[in-house]
Structure 1
């Protein structure tokens, strides 16, 4: 049923929020800034308390995490972005550890209440549909389950297809705010990141289906794929790095087992070029995160190659990508979804890639993970491990074999200490052969 929007102001729209409510914001580039501002005004006026706010990573301001809103707003995120990291570390915000694939399930199964969904959408088309644009992820589930749905009509929200298309009948309250979407620009890869990119690209075969997220290392990988053929995309997100490969025909999806010829994603973050690219583009399907990140759906594509990053890896292959002691919070995200999906895929490759050392020269490969470090990918999931010093395949290897391989791609200046730690760990009870103390 087509519903003609009755437009109200953001201040009027957020009056539906009550103390104790749970609110979902659409994510990344699509965070509804005008509604957030209006909601903060109600908090400043003393009209609300104990309001819980949920979302994935968002770009732009997130004032509800500030100390002054303690007891008024509580940010319980599914993933911690830079705009809330300090607030989370300070105890004024928190996050819910959850696989990205299951963020939608939190709402659909009732584990997490959802009273109000606040989203941004494209202008309605002649058939009475709007598009969620760059943020389907858990937002579609929030729209389906919320008591009230507030939609900001924004002419800058791209008209993307797939699960992004929803009827106007699903919306209760409408606002208008034509603010350009938040853009993300990424720095040129460093020499180290280029080396990592080269090592990862060497593992990618023609016909592979890629998942690699955003940032300097993914861009460095993509820059090396110009001579590949028939690559596909099934991912949680993509950014500007894929566009030249689409334009050249390298990425065409013709080898995919499902969604043949289509690029599948659940949210996006990049420059305006990316948002323009998905607008009215039938090649792109923006899908519910329960679809994009389901390992068994992912594995319906052959040669799934998943490239994900880490904060720290121990010598047996345990991967910390969540929190490193108390110095970093992010979230579980979709790493395990795709690492597992790639491992199930025929000819698939699950890859963890990271620099061997921090910016201060500290080894990111450690005898054991730091106290408090969150293990996201277990040693049982770990297949390929890549640094600037090479790539090693850990699949089917014993703990001792893994230790030798992991140490072989550590920074040379740290190998002796790591080898000594491995010998002390395994040597007294096993036959660990020291390889780097000769």
Structure 2
């Protein structure tokens, strides 16, 4: 049962979406929660106020819910979006000039919200129904919602029964007393992100990584075909007693858990618990994390803190990238000047995993990608002009393609060039060697190599 005083307070704060968004004024900044926990009906109600408002800035993070305010205002004069990390829907509006990117390292986001950003007057988010103690769970989107709540003058919660109630952790929920208005939504289904089917090349990459895993490892997986391939292979392997500490919780973890591979028995901290900051995947995944004591949610300044990650022994970080140069610089967020995603947590885990006792950090990519003019090497002499360096050469640990693993730490520039060219597609190795020679980082004693594994 709901405690009586909380029940009464709930009733006084319960309003329609149209009534709730009246707190927004022209020129305000409005912060939306992460991913599938962004507001839907509140944003639609705000869109209906277009003609009353000018210069409202909305800040999102992988805006997975529909962008009603964007759609209502093709000029961007009334509503303009800013994203901490661009998902597929965000990119649609980025291309139209209706959304900009906010550069960040993910573990710093709560700190930036509290200290560096233009203060958001209003915070809006989707949450699970209030529990009997008066708390709303942030569900799949806890990275920095509490930080935004602390800084806002008005806090609007959109209750959706399809939002999972996720336990914590820290900063995974908010009490009714901290909320300005409650809106009960029509309970639309949360956006899903089906697991990508790995290509043969991605399966080969995953096989190299599987060879490096052992009982008791603690895993962090990014998004895409390679992490899914790793999860599928782990589920079918003899590995056991694995742990989980990640920013993003995906279906690969569900597959490994169902197969009995994850226990968290040997974790240094959060023993026996699967730790994450946000979840995006299938409906089965959302059902699994709902009210599940075995999985707990934290703000991203905990999950992604390189200091915290370094305290977890046998940590394994697996992420993807777009291209790498022969110095070991990694670009994971743009194709030249064409913006794709964002820095996210890659650098957080690259640095934290390397400092973990027996830690391993893998950045993965297929050796080539296809263009209308034919295949192009992802390993380049220098990054494409305008490409953003996501992980600097000083941070990268291991780079993986379907041709093997190149270990970067402790290697000079000519050793790095040799290792990376050794895992490039064979059709591009001779050209890369000539480029390395012209750049003065290829010695006569260098090996042209073939497939190699660190």
Matched residues in 1 for 2:445 and 2:92: separation?
A: 44
Equivalent in the alignment of 1:384: 398
- In the alignment, the residues of structure 2 paired with residue 258 and residue 319 of structure 1 have an alpha-carbon distance, to the nearest angstrom, of 30
Task: Say whether the 8 Å CA contact 2:110–2:147 is kept in structure 1.
Answer: yes
Give the structure 2 partner of residue 419 of structure 1: 433
Q: Identify if the C-alpha distance between structure 1 residues 69 and 34 changes in structure 2 by more than 3 Å, giving closer, same or farther.
A: farther
Determine if the alignment matches structure 1 residue 8 to structure 2 residue 22: no
Partners of 2:107 and 2:300 within 8 A in 1: yes
**How many angstroms does 1:59 deviate by?**
1.5
For the pair 1:312 / 2:323, whether they are aligned, the reply is yes
Any idea what SS the aligned residue of 2:74 has?
helix
User: Offset of 1:186 from its aligned partner?
Assistant: 2.4
Q: Does 1:107 align with 2:107?
A: no
Q: Which moved more, 1:399-408 or 1:240-249?
A: 240-249
Structure 2 CA distance, aligned partners of 1:110 and 1:374? 22
Partner of 1:208: 217
Give the SS at the match of 1:61.
coil
- Mapped pair 1:33 → 2:40: yes
**1:57 aligns to 2:62 (yes or no):** yes
2:283 paired with 1:272 = yes
Instruction: Measure, in 2, the Cα distance between the counterparts of 1:142 and 1:105.
Output: 10
Q: TM-score, normalised by structure 1?
A: 0.95
| Distance in 2 separating the partners of 1:306 and 1:272 | 25
* Matches of 2:446 and 2:309, distance apart in 1: 39
Distance, in Å, in 1 between the alignment partners of 2:96 and 2:301 is: 32
Equivalence map 1:117-266=2 (5 Å): 117-162=123-168, 163=170, 164-177=172-185, 178-226=187-235, 227-266=238-277
Question: How far off is 1:91 after superposition?
Answer: 2.9
Number of matched pairs: 434
Q: Distance in 2 between matches of 1:103 and 1:432?
A: 47
- Structure 1 CA distance, aligned partners of 2:117 and 2:183? 29
Q: CA deviation at 1:293?
A: 0.8
**Alignment partners' CA distance in 2, 1:95 and 1:192:** 31
**Quick check: 2:268–2:313 contact (8 Å CA) kept in 1?**
yes
1:283 has 2:328 as partner: no
Cα 1:311–1:432, aligned 2, differ >3 Å: closer, same or farther? farther
* Pair 1:65–1:433, CA change in 2 (3 A): farther
Range with bigger deviation, 184-193 or 415-424: 184-193
Q: Cα deviation per residue 1:377-420 (whole Å; 9 max; x = unaligned)? A: 01111111100111121211111001000011111101110111
Deviation at 1:94, TM superposition (A): 0.7
Residues of 1 paired with 2:57 and 2:135: CA distance?
29
Unaligned runs of 5+ in 2: none
Pairing 1:366–2:380 present: yes
Give 3-state SS (helix, strand or coil) of 1:26's partner.
strand
Q: Which moved more, 1:311-320 or 1:124-133?
A: 124-133
- Equivalent residue, structure 2, for 1:346: 357
Q: How far 1:92 sits from its partner (Å)?
A: 2.6
Which whole-Å CA distance do the structure 1 matches of 2:357 and 2:432 have between them? 34
Task: Check the 8 A contact 2:110/2:301 in 1, yes or no.
Answer: yes
Q: Secondary structure at the match of 1:355?
A: coil
Root-mean-square deviation (Å): 1.7
